[in-house]
Amino acid sequence: MERKVRVRFAPSPTGPLHIGGVRTALYNYLFARQHGGTMILRIEDTDSNRFVPGAEAYINESLRWLGIGIDEGVAEGGNYGPYKQSERRDIYRKYVKQLLDDGKAYIAFDTPEELEAKRGEIKNFQYDASTRMSMRNSLALPAEEVQRLIDAGTNYVVRFKIEPGRNVVVHDLIRGDVTINSSILDDKVLYKRADDLPTYHLANIVDDHLMEVSHVIRGEEWLPSAPLHVLLYEAFGWADTQPEFVHLPLLLKPDGKGKLSKRDGDRLGFPVFPLEWHDPKSGEISSGYRESGYLPHAVVNFLSLLGWNPGDDREIMSMDELIRDFSFAHCSKSGAKFDFEKAKWFNHEYLMATDDAALASLFKPILAEHVDASQFTDEYIAAAVGTVKNRINFVKDLWANAAFYFQAPVEYAAKDVKKRWKEDTPKLMGELITLLEGVADFSDAAATEATVMAWIKGNEYHMGNVMNAFRLTVVGECKGPHMFEITRLLGKEETIARIKRGVEVITLPAE
């Protein structure tokens, strides 16, 4: 019988969620939705030394912002809780005991100093079948001594007893069978008496089992742990219900050499975190996609293609399309290069597809930083941003591109003045004013344009010089959207006032 799809995203709250982690969450989500399955968010916080306050809230907010829905989790509840590992101590104790009772694990008393000394003594020391009998553990020490140490409250850990010389096969839905020999594995610590908590490996396996996880979809960096996990499933007698493994390709630096890191973002000027992060200890602020002006779906679409492709040349895909078409068969084995220019391209495409009214509401807070926004109607703001949206990658770029709709130029670009303001320009602008005064209103852009064109042609004026000088007075520089779209929005009075002021203020550049 087909197993019900239950997947989990299992971050450790050790800092801000990295963009690679977001990609893992997204692929879990797409797969769950495609199969009508369940998406679990499990907080893996058994390592108290690495706990960072605020990290869990950050994870929740990031997923919410991106529209990656969670079905079961700390906030959502569910029948398999608690969903935070630090609240599952009582559950884990029983499983640690089971492994000890079955002789699959043992108690080890070696102190950090003793382990350090061993490492100095034996080259490439590894705690395993070849060394464990020379260590202080329940396999090597007499039973009474072990009991005495426990009764005396001595700190200990529980280690997994790995049998050497076995081929362990990890079946991975992207990579196929990955086989390693168990002799290279060490007797991993599964539980620490001092914390009364299991380590990542044990908690992860027990929870995946108890939460009936069907597919473990996670980053490639966890592949080296997978053989150990396979052996743990076996040790517990759960091999039959072991989840399928899927190890997603790494996100690589933009130049393709090595894993994408926070430093690459700092160096090349792009965020590696979904939201801005304020480090509670250092006070350092790391930029986020949200605060940098990205639309959530642009980020989702961009991430969806880092390690997967739809099998054809489609790039722009809605969440519904991604859910429908996602497949492990089209996930790559090799790392995905992080192409930041592509992220900007996606954002541009999504801004273009955003309707003008929605764009205007995103822009309004920025507008209000510069002018009294209440003097403009929503329709006017929407129409203004509509004429420049093809020129921008981010909402914050709107001000630089559309400011002239909201305030008359205060200065005029020197290089444009130099190039376009000739000796006869004031006279020509004077004629243009007279001409425009005769146009009833500017609401028909094509009609205004036809009138101006006829005047230029009839007088055999230089089209480029006249139109650029006109633009200079209205916009302040020789670029921007179609001139008669601008005059349509500004209206007759404002347009003419700007030409007049330009003629007064702009002086011929000194030769």
Q: Among 5, 6, 7, 10, which residue sits at the site for ligand GLU (rule: CB under 6 A)?
A: 10
Q: Tell me if 12 contacts ligand GLU by CB under 6 A.
A: yes
From the list 84, 118, 259, 262, the catalytic residue is 262
72 phi, psi to nearest 5 deg: -130, 135
Nearest-10 Cα torsion for 376, 295, 356, 408 = 40
Q: For residues 199 and 301, which CB has a smaller minimum distance to ligand GLU in the complex?
A: 199
Tell me the closest approach of the beta carbon of residue 13 to ligand GLU, in angstroms. Answer: 9
Instruction: Transcribe 351-369 into DSSP letters.
Output: HHHS-HHHHHHHHHHHHHH
Question: Of 6-14, 134-142, 394-402, 409-417, which part binds ligand GLU (CB under 6 A)?
Answer: 6-14
Q: What is the C-alpha separation between 274 and 252, in angstroms, rounded?
A: 17
Tell me the closest approach of the beta carbon of residue 113 to ligand GLU, in angstroms. Answer: 29
Is 192 catalytic? The answer is no
Q: Tell me if 204 contacts ligand GLU by CB under 6 A.
A: yes
Q: For residues 14 and 126, which CB has a smaller minimum distance to ligand GLU in the complex?
A: 14
DSSP classification of residue 330 = G
Instruction: Quote the Cα angle for 68-74-80, to 5°.
Output: 100
Q: Tell me if 85 contacts ligand GLU by CB under 6 A.
A: no
| Under 8 Å between Cβ of 429 and 502 | yes
Produce one character per residue of 156-186: b if its CB has 16 or more CB atoms within 10 Å, e if not.
bbbbbbbeeeeebebebbbbeebebebeebb
Produce one character per residue of 52-64: b if its CB has 16 or more CB atoms within 10 Å, e if not.
beebbebbbebbe
- Residues of this chain, 209-238, that bind ligand GLU according to CB under 6 A: 216, 218, 222
Q: For residues 44 and 187, which CB has a smaller minimum distance to ligand GLU in the complex?
A: 44
Q: What is the C-alpha separation between 228 and 178, in angstroms, rounded?
A: 13
- Residues of this chain, 18-47, that bind ligand GLU according to CB under 6 A: 44
Instruction: Quote the Cα angle for 85-86-87, to 5°.
Output: 85
Q: For residues 41 and 506, which CB has a smaller minimum distance to ligand GLU in the complex?
A: 41
Kindly state the number of chain residues that form the binding site for ligand GLU, as judged by CB under 6 A: 9
Q: Tell me if 11 contacts ligand GLU by CB under 6 A.
A: yes
Q: For residues 221 and 424, which CB has a smaller minimum distance to ligand GLU in the complex?
A: 221
Tell me the closest approach of the beta carbon of residue 86 to ligand GLU, in angstroms. Answer: 13
Tell me the closest approach of the beta carbon of residue 21 to ligand GLU, in angstroms. Answer: 7
| Under 8 Å between Cβ of 236 and 189 | no
Q: Using CB under 6 A as the criterion, which residues of the chain lie in contact with ligand GLU when the complex forms?
A: 10-12, 44, 200, 204, 216, 218, 222
Q: Which residues are catalytic?
A: 262
